[in-house]
Structure 1
Amino acid sequence: MAIAKNTICLWFEKEAEAAARFYAATFPDSAVTGFQRAPADYPSGKAGDVLTVDFTVAGIPCIGLNGGTAFKQSEAFSFQIATEDQAETDRYWNAIVGNGGQESACGWCKDRWGVSWQITPRTLTEAMSAGGEEAKRAFTAMMDMKKIDVAKIEAARRG
């Protein structure tokens, strides 16, 4: 197996494999590609426990490390998933929030392992890129949302 030059490493308390399998089942171009077991006891586990899990999320190579309780996930890192429409936005949002996750503001949510996700319809990104009054209207509309409402963003874009 070729090792990617740059890989995102996510620290999990102990459920890296469960998280990777959930991501692989939820997002296209995602898969669990391998795992390594600890060759000896370590501070948060025993020899033979799954230490790392190799996986991809929407084409991005990742490693999940079962590192124990020393570090927690935060919004300082998030996956941003671009969606095409409300149905795709709903599908990902509901999968994450409905599997023990929690809603946040402006299209952000957390999965049950504490990893942050931005479920971002392309229409919002396009509005922000347009700048000016269109961006201002879309931004103002977004500020009142948890999950992004595509129809409201599109209406805001039009004025």
Structure 2
Amino acid sequence: MSGNGFTTCLWFDGNAEAAADHYLSVFKDGKIGRIGRYTEAGPGEAGSVMVVEFEINGQQFIGLNGGPQFPFTEAISFQIRCSDEAEADYYWDALTGDGGEEGVCGWVKDKFGVSWQVIPPGAIDLIADPDPGRAARATAAMMRMKKLDVAEMRRAADAP
């Protein structure tokens, strides 16, 4: 891992390595870096994974097995700006599968509790439309959705 930019540290409860492996199976452009293990000095069990460095889509992460004290919340999420509807469907299914859950307005929580926003192309343009009426109608439609349906958002924006 390079020394430039930012590295996001994600605090896990003993499953950081499994999470890194999962993210590498979901995001095709990724790799595992160094894995640090607890020693006899603790606080974790000697030999167990303390940290795992990984990279997905050019973003550097460290998974830290810190314990149950600090669970993930929706206050922090990662946006996935998709190039087409098929890619949005792929990420939606991959991140909600195997214990993940759907949220509202394009948000999902993966099986580790990390929140993601799956953004299909055109969604941001609709809610940021320079015409306040179009933006409001698109946003109102989005607020009723789980997975974002850009065609429906566009129909709402275009409605009189």
The answer to whether the Cα contact below 8 Å between 1:123 and 1:153 also exists between their aligned partners in 2 is no
Q: Identify unmatched segments of 5+ residues in structure 1.
A: none
Structure 1 residues 4 and 42: CA distance shift in structure 2, 3 A:
farther
Residue 89 of structure 1: CA displacement?
Answer: 1.1
Tell me which moved more, 114-123 or 125-134: 125-134
Match of 1:104 in 2: 103
In 1, the alpha carbon distance for the partners of 2:67 and 2:41 equals 13
Unaligned runs of 5+ in 2: none
**Superposition TM-score, scaled by structure 2 size:** 0.89
Matched, 1:125 2:148: no
Alignment of 1:58 with 2:63, yes or no, is: no
Q: Which residue matches 2:154?
A: 154
Q: Indicate the RMSD between aligned Cα atoms, in angstroms.
A: 1.7
Check conservation: 1:106, 1:143, Cα contact below 8 A: yes
Using the TM superposition, give the Cα deviation of residue 66 of structure 1 relative to its aligned residue in structure 2, in angstroms: 0.5
Deviation at 1:130, TM superposition (A): 2.2
- For 2:72 and 2:129, the matched residues in 1 are separated by 32
Identity among equivalent pairs (%): 45
The alpha carbon displacement at 1:113 in A equals: 0.8
- Partner residue, 2:81: 82
Cα distance, 1:128 vs structure 2 = 2.4
Deviation larger for 82-91 or 69-78: 82-91
What is the TM-score of this pair, normalised by structure 1? 0.90
Q: Which residue is equivalent to 1:39?
A: 39
- Tell me the matched-pair count: 158
Distance in 2, matches of 1:110 and 1:81, equals 13
Mapped contact 2:105–2:147 kept (Cα < 8 A): yes
- The AA in structure 2 aligned to 1:88 is E
